[in-house]
């Protein structure tokens, strides 16, 4: 039985994200680089999920579907990382504490398995939130 776990999330640049961005926001490289959440092996166990399964990540402002992967750059258990981009920003709290800077690093999220959910495209994920997709 899959569970829901709470993690501390940070969003950062990765070189794959940079390359993907320059290859084009609609490119597969960008999609592959940014639609993932890096998690520690122990958190995979707690979640009861295999590597490379789709998960739903929910913060105080919304949720997004991404793929859970094991990180190359070591995290500590309880800390997770989604590369910066429109997917990560679906859940980044916009409040800035009067500094102008939103909370890109260090906010709590719930992670649960969502094997059958589809990951949206880069433009779709923004247009969807803005109500610009016509059904």
Partner 1 sequence: MPKDVTDVICPFCGTLCDDVVVTVSDDNKTILSVKNACAIGAEKFNHQRLPGRVKRPRMRQPDGTYKEVSYDEAIDWTAKMLVKSRKTLMYGWASTSCQAMSIGHEIAEKVGGIVDNCATVCHGSSLIAIEDVGVPSCTLGEVKNRADRVIFWGCNPAHAHPRHMSRYSIFPRGFFTVKGHKGRKIYCVDCRYTDTAKCADTFIQVQQGFDYELLDAFRTAARGEALPDTVGGVPKEKIYEVVEELKGGRFGIIFFGMGLTHTMGRNHNIDEAICLTRDMNDFTKFVIMAMRGHWNVTGSGQVLGWQYGFPYAVDLSRRDQARHQTGETTSVDLLNRNEVEACFYIATDPGAHFPINAMISSSKKPTVTIDPHINCTTEISDVHIPVAMVGVEVGGCAYRMDNVPIETRKVVEPPEGMLTDEEVLTKINNRVDELLAKGGA
Q: Quick check: 1 binds partner 1 (CB under 8 A)?
A: no
In terms of Cβ atoms closer than 10 Å to its own Cβ (0-12, 13-18, 19+), residue 99 is exposed
Q: Quick check: 135 binds partner 1 (CB under 8 A)?
A: no
Distance CA 22, CA 108 (A): 30
Of 26, 32, 45, 115, which lies in the binding site for partner 1, with binding defined by CB under 8 A?
Answer: 26
Which residue's CB is nearer to partner 1, number 1 or number 73?
73
Distance CA 32, CA 10 (A): 18
Of 3, 51, 105, 108, which lies in the binding site for partner 1, with binding defined by CB under 8 A?
Answer: 105
In terms of Cβ atoms closer than 10 Å to its own Cβ (0-12, 13-18, 19+), residue 8 is middle
Which residue's CB is nearer to partner 1, number 117 or number 124?
124
Go through 62-83 and write b for each residue having 16 or more CB atoms within 10 A of its CB, e for each that does not.
ebbbbebbeeeeebeeebbbbb
Q: Quick check: 19 binds partner 1 (CB under 8 A)?
A: yes
Of 49, 111, 114, 122, which lies in the binding site for partner 1, with binding defined by CB under 8 A?
Answer: 122
Which residue's CB is nearer to partner 1, number 11 or number 113?
11
Q: Quick check: 69 binds partner 1 (CB under 8 A)?
A: no
CA angle, residues 30, 35, 39, in degrees to nearest 5: 130
Q: Quick check: 61 binds partner 1 (CB under 8 A)?
A: yes
The site for partner 1 (CB under 8 A) is made up of 8, 10, 12-15, 18-19, 21-26, 61-62, 71-76, 79, 81, 84-86, 89-106, 122-123, 126-127, 129-132, 134
């Amino acid at each position: 039985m899959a569970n829901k776990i709470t993690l501390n999330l940070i969003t950062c640049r990765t070189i794959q994200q940079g390359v993907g961005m320059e290859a084009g926001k609609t490119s597969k490289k960008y999609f592959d680089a940014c639609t993932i959440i890096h998690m520690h092996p122990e958190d995979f166990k707690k979640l009861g999920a295999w590597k490379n399964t789709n998960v739903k990540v929910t913060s105080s402002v919304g949720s997004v579907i991404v793929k859970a992967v094991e990180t190359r750059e070591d995290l500590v258990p309880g800390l997770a990382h989604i590369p910066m981009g429109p997917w990560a920003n679906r859940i980044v709290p916009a409040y800035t504490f009067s500094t102008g800077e939103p909370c890109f690093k260090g906010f709590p999220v719930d992670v649960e398995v969502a094997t059958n959910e589809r990951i949206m495209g880069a433009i779709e994920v923004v247009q969807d939130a803005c109500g610009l997709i016509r059904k």
